[in-house]
Chain A
Amino acid sequence: MFSGLMLNTWIAATIVAVIAGVMGFFAVLRGQSFAAHAIPNGAFAGAAGAGLLGLNVIWGLAVFAVGGALGIGALGRRARQDVATALMLVLMLGIGALFVSFSTEYAEVTYSLLFGEVYGVGSNVLLPIAALGAVSVAVIAVMFRPLLLASALPEIADARGVSTRRMELCFLIVMALATSMTVPVVGALLMFALMIGPAAAARSFTKRPGHAIALAVGIALATVWIGIAVSYHTNWPLGFFVGVIAAGFFLLGQGWAAIRRHWSAPRPASALGSATA
Chain B
Amino acid sequence: MGHFFSYIVEPGLLSSGPVLTALLVGTVVAVTSGVVGVLTVIRGQSFAGHSLADVATTGGAGAFLVGLNQFWGFLLAGVAGAAIMELIGVQRRRGRDVATGVVLGAALGSAALFLYLGTQTSSTTGASFTILFGSMFVISPDTVPALIASGVVALAVIAVLSRVLLLTSLSAELAAARGVPVRAVGIAYLVALAVAVSLSAVVIGAVLSTALLIGPAATSLRLAKRPSLAMLASALIGTAATWLGILLAYDSYYWPPHGHGWPVSFFVVALVVVGYLLSYVRRPSRDRRVPVAAQAQEEEGACSPA
Write the residues of chain A forming the contact surface with B, with a CB cutoff of 8 angstroms: 28, 31-34, 36-37, 78-80, 82-83, 85-87, 89-91, 93-95, 97-98, 100-102, 106-108, 110-111, 114-115, 158-161, 163, 165-166, 187, 189-190, 192-193, 196-197, 200, 236-237, 239-244, 246-247, 250-251, 254
Q: Does B297 contact A (CB under 8 A)?
A: no
Closest 6 CB pairs of A and B: A243-B109, A94-B269, A193-B105, A239-B112, A33-B101, A240-B113
Asked whether A80 and B41 contact (CB < 8 A) given A91-B269, A94-B269, the answer is yes
Chain A residues contacting B102 (CB-CB under 8 Å) are 196-197, 200, 246-247, 250
In the assembled complex, which residues on chain B have CB atoms less than 8 Å from the CB atom of A31? 93-94, 97-98
Complex formed: what's the CA distance from A32 to B97 in Å?
8
Q: Give the complex CA separation of A250 and B98 in angstroms.
A: 10
Check if B50 sits within 8 Å of A89, measured CB to CB: yes
Check: B29 CB closer than 8 A to any chain A CB.
no
CA distance A94 to B50 in the complex (A): 14
A70 vs B126: C-alpha distance when bound (angstroms): 32
Additional pairs, 5, CB under 8 Å, beyond known A111-B115, A196-B105, A254-B88: A78-B280, A83-B41, A87-B215, A106-B126, A111-B125
User: What are 5 A-to-B residue pairs whose CB atoms are below 8 Å?
Assistant: A86-B213, A87-B211, A90-B210, A93-B269, A189-B112
Task: Give CA–CA (A115, B101) in the complex, Å.
Answer: 17
Given the known inter-chain contacts A93-B269, A97-B263, please indicate yes or no for A193 contacting B126, CB distance below 8 A. Answer: no
The answer to whether residues A37 and B112 also contact, given A94-B266, A247-B106 and a CB cut-off of 8 A, is no
Interface flag for B132 (CB, 8 Å): yes
Q: How many A-B residue pairs have CB under 8 A?
A: 194
Which of B94, B106, B208 is close to A243, meaning CB atoms less than 8 Å apart? B106
Of chain B, the residue at the smallest CB distance from A110 is: B129
**Beta-carbon contact of A87 and B218 below 8 Å:** yes
Chain B residues with a Cβ under 8 A of chain A: 41, 44-47, 49-51, 88, 93-94, 97-98, 100-113, 115-117, 125-126, 128-129, 132-133, 207-208, 210-211, 213-215, 218, 257, 260-263, 265-266, 268-270, 272-273, 276, 280, 302-306
Q: Does the CB pair B125–A97 fall under 8 Å?
A: no
Report yes or no: A37 in contact with B101, Cβ–Cβ below 8 A.
yes
The chain A residue with its CB closest to the CB of B92 is: A31
Task: Give the chain A neighbours of B218 by CB distance below 8 A.
Answer: 79-80, 83, 87
- How far is A258 from B269 in the complex, measured between Cα atoms in Å? 43
Cα distance A236–B109 when bound, in Å?
Answer: 11
Of chain A, the residue at the smallest CB distance from B299 is A165
**CB within 8 A of A90: which of B101, B257, B272?**
B272
Q: Please tell me if the beta carbons of A237 and B269 are within 8 angstroms of each other in the complex.
A: no
Q: Which residues of B contact A192 (CB under 8 A)?
A: 101, 104-105, 108
Which of A82, A90, A197, A244 is the most central at the interface, judged by chain B CB atoms within 10 Å of its CB? A90
CB of B168 to closest CB in A, whole Å: 18
Contacts of B97 in A (CB 8 A): 31-34
- Chain B residues, Cβ within 8 Å of A254: 88
Bound CA–CA A239/B306 (angstroms)? 47
User: Across the interface, do A36 and B101 meet the contact criterion of CB distance under 8 Å?
Assistant: yes
User: Which residue on A lies nearest to B218, using beta carbons?
Assistant: A83
Q: Are B108 and A243 in contact (CB under 8 A)?
A: yes
* B51 nearest CB neighbor, chain A only: A37
Alpha-carbon distance A115/B108, docked complex (angstroms): 9
